[in-house]
Chains A and B, each alone.
Chain A
Amino acid sequence: MATTCGTIVQRAKAANVLNDSLGAVASEVLARIRAEQQEVFTRAAAVNRDFFQSAVSLASTTGGSGRIVDLTSLGVTPIYKPIERLLLATLADGTELNQVDAADVAAEYAPRFFVRGQSLVEVASDWGATGAVNLTLVYAYGMVDIDPAAGLEQPITLPDTWSDLLELPLAMYFHTRDDGRNPDELKELATQLGAWETLTGRRGAFLQHVMMTAGARFSRFQLPTPRQVGEE
C-alpha cells in the first residue's frame, strides 16, 4: 500500500520530539512533499530511461494536419502515469515518429512532430489520413501530482522503500522553522539525505539503485542523457 503524505509528515516529525509541538499547516507540508517528490522523479528520469518507464496509447485531435496529442491528459487520468521524459512515439503501424524543432521541421523525414509545452504537434499532415490518430508513447513517468489544497491522505508515487527521500527534507524543514535548535541535528539530517551530484547518502543510493537494477544492457549506441552526472 502506498505511503500517504500524512505518514511522511508523521515520520518527519519523529526525527525530533521538538517537532511534535510545531503546528504545521497541511497545505504547507503538502507543497514541500510535492516539490521534493517532483525533483526525485526528474533526477531519476535524467539518469535512467527504464526504471520508471511506462507505455500508453493516446488519441490525437481530429483534422488532417497539425493534429495535437495533449500529454497533460496522462496526469489527469488515474490509470496513466504522468510524463516526465518522452522516449519514443510511434504510429499505430509501428512507424517511429521523428521529433524536430518547431523552427527546423525540415531536419528529419516524415512522420514528424514537435513539442509545444505539454503537447506533441504534428508537422504538416505527417501522421496519415484525416481523423484522430493513436500514438503509442513510451516514456519515463513522473509523480502523480499532489494537491496542496487537499488532504494528507494523498498517496506518494515513490516506492515505499524510498519514502525517506521525502521524510528527511521535511524533517530538515521542520528544523529550520524552529529557531534555536541544535545545528548538529540539521547537519546529521543533511548527511543522511546526501546529495544528487555526488551520489552520497540516501539520494545517492536511490540513483545507484535506479541505474543498476536493470543490469547490463546490450546497446548499439551510447545514448546521451540530459545531464552528465550518473550517465548510463
Chain B
Amino acid sequence: MALTLRAVIDAARNQSPFFHKSRGTPDKLLGDELSTYQNELIGKAVLRDKQFLSQTATIVLNAGAGDLAATAGAGSITGLPGTVVNNAPVPIVAPAGRLVQVGVTAADGATVIVAKRVVSSATSTSVTSSGAARSVNGDADRLLVIVQGAGAGQYRRIVSNTADTWVTSTGADGRTWTVLPDDSSMMAVVAPVYDADGAAMVLDAIPPLEDRPAYLVRLSSAGVPFIDYVAPLVASVDVGLELPAAAEVTGGKVFCVDPDDGSAPLTITTIGQRFNPPDWPAVYINGGQLFLCGDAGDWEGIASLALEYVPVAPAFTAPTDYFLVPDTAKTALVAFAAELLMRRTLGQPGTPFKMADVQSADAKVERAELTFLGRLGIGRRARISVIQPG
C-alpha cells in the first residue's frame, strides 16, 4: 500500500483550477471525509470478499502465577499487559490485555542513530565497535540492535556507552545476550517506536477473571457512616480482550504448545452458545471484546490464538498517512474528494459549477466505486474452493 492522503488530495485538487484550498476546503476537512469514505469502501468490499484487507491479531496464552499483577512488582522478572503513552510503555494491571510491540527499523518508524556497523567484539553485557566515536552516555536508553550475523534479531536497552562500547546489561538484571554477538555481527543503535495497537495480546490467566470489590456502608459508634475498606464484598467477572477496531472478525485458529500438534480452527460462537459452543476451542465476541469459552482444561495444550479480522481504518492525522485500501481504490477516492470540493464551491463568486455538475460528479464516484469493487471479484473467483465462501 503506497497511497497517501496527500496523493489523493493533490489528484482531486488538480481536477479544477477552482479546487485550491484557499477556496474554502482545507486538507483536514478532505482528510476527515476521506477517512469516513475509506471505511465505507472497506465495508462494501468485505461484503464482496471477506479476505479483503484481512489482518491477524495474535493472542498468547501465558497463564502462570508468576505473571499475575500481584507478583509483577519492581525487581520482578515478570511483566504485565501494557499500552503506550507518548512513545513510552505503560503497564496495565489486568489478567488480559495488549502486548507492546517495538519498532527498531526505519521502516517501522524508528530513528536510526548509528547506522549498521561491524561489531569488533562482544561480551554477555557489552558490544564494541571500534571507531564509532560516540559521545559518552549519549546513547543511554536507546536500543542496540544486532541486525546481522551471530545473534541477529536481538536487541537490548543501552545502559551506558563510551566512544565505541555500549553496555547493555549489568549482568545481574537478566538482560545478557541470549546468543552472544561476535565479529561476524553487525549492530545499529536506534531510538525505537512502541505500539500497542492490539495486533498482539496476552492472557495471563484462563479464564481471565477480575475481582470487583464493593463496600458496605458501616456506622461508627457515633452514628457516622464510613466505608470499611478492610471488608469488601468481592465479585468475579470475566475479563475480555479489547480487540483492535474491526469492521468484522472473519475467523481464527489456535496453535498448540507442541509444534508437532500444529494448529486447529478456532470456533467463534455467539454469547448465547458460550457454554455449549458447536466445537472447541471456542471464543465469543461481545461489545468489541473477545472472551474465552470454557475453563483452563478446555485450553490445555494451546499456546496462542490467531484471529483474522478486517480493520476499521483509523482517522487520518497527517497528509502523509497511508490509505488501508489498495491503490486500485485511488480513482474512487479521488472522484469522491473532487465531488466534495465541487459541492463546497457552489455559490462562491466566480465558480463555474452548478448542481448538475455535482450530480454528474456523484455518478462518477459511483462508477469508480463499482470498478474498484468489481476488481475484488476477480481475485475472489481465482481462489479455487469446493465450498462456496461466505
User: B367 within 8 Å of A by Cβ?
Assistant: no
Enumerate A182-232 residues with CB–CB distance to B below 8 Å. 219-224, 228
A115, CB-defined interface residue at 8 Å: no
Give the segment of B22-30, B147-155, B197-205, B356-364 that binds chain A: B22-30
Q: Which residues of A contact B17 (CB under 8 A)?
A: 219-222
Q: Does B31 contact A (CB under 8 A)?
A: yes
- Using A109-B319, A228-B349 as known contacts, say yes or no to A220 and B28 having CB atoms under 8 A apart: no
Interface string of B4-41 (1 = CB under 8 A from A): 00000000011001111011001111010000000000
Residue A98 at the B interface, CB < 8 A?
yes
Within the complex, what minimum Cβ distance (angstroms) separates A93 from chain B? Answer: 13
Contact, CB under 8 Å: A108 / B26: yes
- B350 contacts partner chain A, Cβ-Cβ < 8 Å: yes
The reply on A107 being an interface residue by CB < 8 A is yes
- Check if A109 sits within 8 Å of B318, measured CB to CB: yes
Chain B interface residue bracket vs A? 10 to 19
Within the assembled complex, what's the spacing in Å between the Cα atoms of A5 and B119?
74
B317 within 8 A of A: yes
Interface centre among B13, B18, B22 (most CB of A within 10 A): B22
- Residue A124 at the chain B interface, CB threshold 8 Å: no
Partner of B31, one of A109, A220, A223: A109
Q: Does A106 count as interface, using CB distance less than 8 angstroms?
A: yes
List 10 additional contacts besides A220-B13, A220-B14; criterion CB under 8 Å. Answer: A108-B27, A108-B28, A110-B318, A220-B20, A221-B19, A222-B17, A223-B20, A223-B22, A224-B23, A224-B350
Assess whether A107 is in contact with B29, with CB atoms less than 8 Å apart.
yes
**Contact residues on A (Cβ < 8 Å of other chain), bracket:** 10 to 19
Q: How many A-B residue pairs have CB under 8 A?
A: 38
Residue contact B28 to A224, C-beta cutoff 8 Å = no
Instruction: Using CB atoms, name the residue of chain A closest to B10.
Output: A220
Contact indicator B349/A221 (Cβ below 8 Å):
no
Cα separation A100 to B319 with both chains bound (whole Å): 16
Task: Using CB atoms, name the residue of chain A closest to B16.
Answer: A221
Pick from A107, A108, A228 the residue with the most CB of B within 10 Å.
Answer: A108
Q: Within the assembled complex, what's the spacing in Å between the Cα atoms of A86 and B13?
A: 22
With most chain A CB atoms within 10 A of its CB, the pick from B14, B27, B28 is B28
Report the 10 A-B pairs with minimum CB-CB distance, sorted nearest first. Answer: A221-B20, A222-B17, A108-B26, A108-B28, A109-B28, A221-B17, A107-B26, A109-B318, A224-B22, A223-B20
B20 proximity list for chain A (CB < 8 A): 220-224
Contacts of B350 in A (CB 8 A): 222, 224
**Which B residues form the contact surface with A (CB < 8 A)?**
13-14, 17-20, 22-23, 26-29, 31, 317-319, 349-350
Nearest opposing residue in chain A for B348, CB measure:
A224
Bound-state Cα–Cα, A222 to B352, Å: 12
For B31, the chain A residues whose CB sits under 8 A away are 109
The distance from the CB of A100 to the nearest CB of chain B, in whole angstroms, is 8
Judging by beta carbons under 8 Å apart, are B26 and A221 in contact? no
Bound CA–CA A219/B31 (angstroms)? 24
Q: B19 → chain A, closest Cβ, in Å?
A: 7
- The closest CB in chain A to the CB of B20 belongs to A221
Could you show 5 A-B contacts with beta carbons less than 8 Å apart? A98-B27, A100-B26, A220-B17, A221-B17, A228-B349
Contact residues in A for B29 (Cβ distance below 8 Å):
107
Residues in B with CB closer than 8 Å to A223 are: 20, 22
Within 8 Å by CB of A107, from B19, B22, B28, B317, lies B28
Q: Determine the distance from Cα of A228 to Cα of B349 in the docked complex, in whole angstroms.
A: 9
Chain B residues with CB under 8 Å of A100's CB are: 26
With A109-B317, A220-B14 known to touch, is A98 a contact of B26 (CB < 8 Å)? yes
What string of 1s and 0s marks CB contacts (under 8 Å) between A49-68 and chain B? 00000000000000000000
Q: What is the distance, in angstroms, from A153's C-beta to the closest C-beta of chain B?
A: 41
Q: Chain A contacts of B19 at CB under 8 A?
A: 221
Shortest Cβ distance from A156 into chain B, in angstroms? 32
Contact code string A96-124 (vs B, CB < 8 Å = 1, else 0): 00101000001111100000000000000
Across-interface contacts of A106 in B (CB, < 8 A):
28
> What chain B residues lie within 8 Å of A222 (beta carbons)?
17-18, 20, 350
Residues of chain A within 8 A (CB-CB) of B318 are 109-110
- Residue in B19, B26, B31, B318 with the greatest tally of chain A CB atoms within 10 Å: B26
A223 to B31 CA separation, bound complex (whole angstroms): 21
CA distance A52 to B14 in the complex (A): 28
| A109 CB contacts on chain B under 8 angstroms | 27-28, 31, 317-319
The residues of A that contact B22 with a CB separation of less than 8 Å are: 223-224
Q: Which residue of A lies closest to B318 (CB)?
A: A109
| Bound-state Cα–Cα, A107 to B31, Å | 11
Q: How far is the CB of B145 from chain A (nearest CB, A)?
A: 25
Please name all residues of chain B whose beta carbon is closer than 8 Å to the beta carbon of A224 when the two chains form the complex: 20, 22-23, 350
